[in-house]
Every structure is written in structure tokens, then in C-alpha cells.
Amino acid sequence: MSEQVEFRNVSFRYQEDAPRVLKDVDFSIDRGEWVAIIGHNGSGKSTIAKLMNGLLFAESGEVRVSGEVIGEENVWDVRKQVGMVFQNPDNQFVGTTVRDDVAFGMENRGIPREDMLRKVPESLKAVQMEAYEEHEPHRLSGGQKQRVAIAGVLAVAPDYMILDEATAMLDPKGRQEILETVRNVQQESDLTLITITHDLNEIVAADRVIVMNEGEVWFEGTPREVFSHKEALSRIGLDVPFVAKLTEELRSQGVHVKEEPLNHEEMVEELWNLRSKM
């Protein structure tokens, strides 16, 4: 079976009398795929993430991970398969040193000490943090802490990794570090990757994008398809990146831009093509 994560008509609310935060959410994610979930603040993205590893349970509908419906009885098995990185770099750093933190998930799984001592440097290497094993968290930047968090997930070799706005609290440099790390990890492993963001710039490298709005799946498609809905995107509270705005602007001036350029390089390429045709 290639469908690995499935949401079937999932609805959820935090309290009995509160409005629904998710309404009939329905999508599936394939093995090895990189899916970006994007939406404005409060659109239900984190709720989706928490439903995926049993931190919350669906009110109606089904959430399946590797074919099994998540429930109270298999939640710890699911958590072994689904690694998660949260938004705040400080509030997920458990260990007093980098090594202790990377080992935390392995310790919870009862992995023998010798294996941990081998795995910790390996995982740190995958996020280019091998030189920091002895460091305490308060001597690390936000981006470095988030990379340690990713290493902690990699160390337990899950099938899925969810990054819930893992870059949102970082400066541009830290953000770049994390995006690169994620791209490397995705290329070098067969992890199914789910990155959650409210920044359209961060969906570019994903295979597929799910756009959330007010607790509903508003759109599903490739990054390029998403970018072709600029006006609608800004209507649901997402900041359209500069390149997409420029495309729009050029078109309105009668310049025929064929494809949706995703980044500066593609835009420059497109403009060269246009010029050579003129």
C-alpha cells in the first residue's frame, strides 16, 4: 500500500461547545513524498500535525498512519513512526547538552547505550552539527537548536517526519539552514516528509502542497499550481512571494510569462527566454 498517511473526513474541536477547528478534512500522503501544508495562523495546521501522531484524536472520521487507524491503544507505536519538530526551538530541547537531547527519543525507546553512542554523532552529522555534541542549549542559535531537534528525530529512524513551522521563529539565516537541512535529509533518506508553514516561499521544494483555510482543505496541488492562484491566496491571508507578484504584474502589462516561476533563478531564466524571442 503506498498511501501512508490518510485523513478521511476528519473533524475536530478542542472543546464540546467550541466551533470545529477541522471540518471534513480529507487527504492522503504517499510513501517518500514531501508534502507542504500551508495556511494562515489558526487555519488548523498544528491540529493536523497533532492528529498525525496521536497527541490529539479525531472527533469524527479516521486518521490512518501506515494503514492503521490511530487510537488510544496504538498511539505509542504510531509515535515511534512519526517524528515531530515543533516551532519553538527552546521548548522542545529536553537535554542539558546536545548529546543528551539527541539521545532523548532513543532513551525513551530503550535503545542500548552502545547503539546510542554510535547513533548520536551519526545523526548530528546529517544536520552538520557534529562539532556541537558537548554544547549546552543556551550556547546555540535558534537554527542550531532546530537542527539538533531534527537530529533527535533522525536518530530514532521514523518513517515520517513532521516539521510544524520549525522555521517560524528563526532569523533568515537560521531559516535557510533548516530548509537546506530538510532538503538534504529528504534526498538522502526515504522519509515521508510533511512540512507545515505559513510562508509561501517555503513550499517551493515540496512535491505537493495542501493549502488549508479555516479548517478546510482549500486547495491541493503542486507548488506551481498553488502559485497560479495568487489573488485567492492573498485573500485567505497568505503573503504572495515577490517573484509571484512580479509574474502577475508582468502579465498585466501584457508580457507573456509562460510558466509560474518559483524562484528568482526561474524568473531570470524566463525573462531571458522572452528577451531572446523578442
Interacting residues with ligand ADP (CB under 6 A): 14, 21, 39, 41-47
- Residue 41 lies near another protein (rule: CB under 8 A): no
Helix (H, G, I), strand (E, B) or coil at 17: coil
Classify residue 118 as exposed, middle or buried by CB count within 10 Å of its CB (0-12, 13-18, 19+): exposed
Query: Residue 114 Cβ, how far from ligand ADP at the closest point, in Å?
Result: 39
Nearest to 74 by CA among 85, 86, 84, 62: 62
Report the C-alpha gap between 195 and 203 in whole angstroms.
Answer: 8
Which region, judged by CB under 8 A, interacts with another protein, from 18-26, 64-72, 134-142, 175-183? 134-142
Neighbours of 129 (CB within 10 A): 23
User: Residue 30 forms beta bridges with which residues?
Assistant: 3
Q: Give me the residue label for grid cell 527552546.
A: 90
In the chain, the N- to C-terminal Cα span, in Å, equals: 50
* Between 85 and 238, CB nearer to another protein: 85
* Between 34 and 86, CB nearer to another protein: 86
Helix (H, G, I), strand (E, B) or coil at 222: coil
Query: Residue 29 Cβ, how far from another protein at the closest point, in Å?
Result: 18
Contacts of 168 (CB under 8 A, 6+ apart): 87, 197, 198, 199
Quick one: what does residue 41 bind among ligand ADP, another protein, Mg ion, none, with the CB cut-off 5 to 8 Å set by partner type? Answer: ligand ADP
Report the C-alpha gap between 135 and 162 in whole angstroms.
Answer: 25
- Residue 116 lies near another protein (rule: CB under 8 A): yes
* Between 211 and 243, CB nearer to Mg ion: 211
* Between 96 and 273, CB nearer to another protein: 96
Residue of the chain from 4, 43, 46, 167 that contacts Mg ion (CB under 5 A): 46
Report the C-alpha gap between 122 and 145 in whole angstroms.
Answer: 17
- Residue 180 lies near another protein (rule: CB under 8 A): no
Which region, judged by CB under 5 A, interacts with Mg ion, from 39-47, 109-117, 142-150, 234-242? 39-47
- The contact set with another protein (CB under 8 A) reads 53, 55, 76, 79-80, 83-84, 86, 88, 90-96, 99-100, 103-113, 116-117, 120, 136-138, 152, 156
- The contact set with Mg ion (CB under 5 A) reads 46
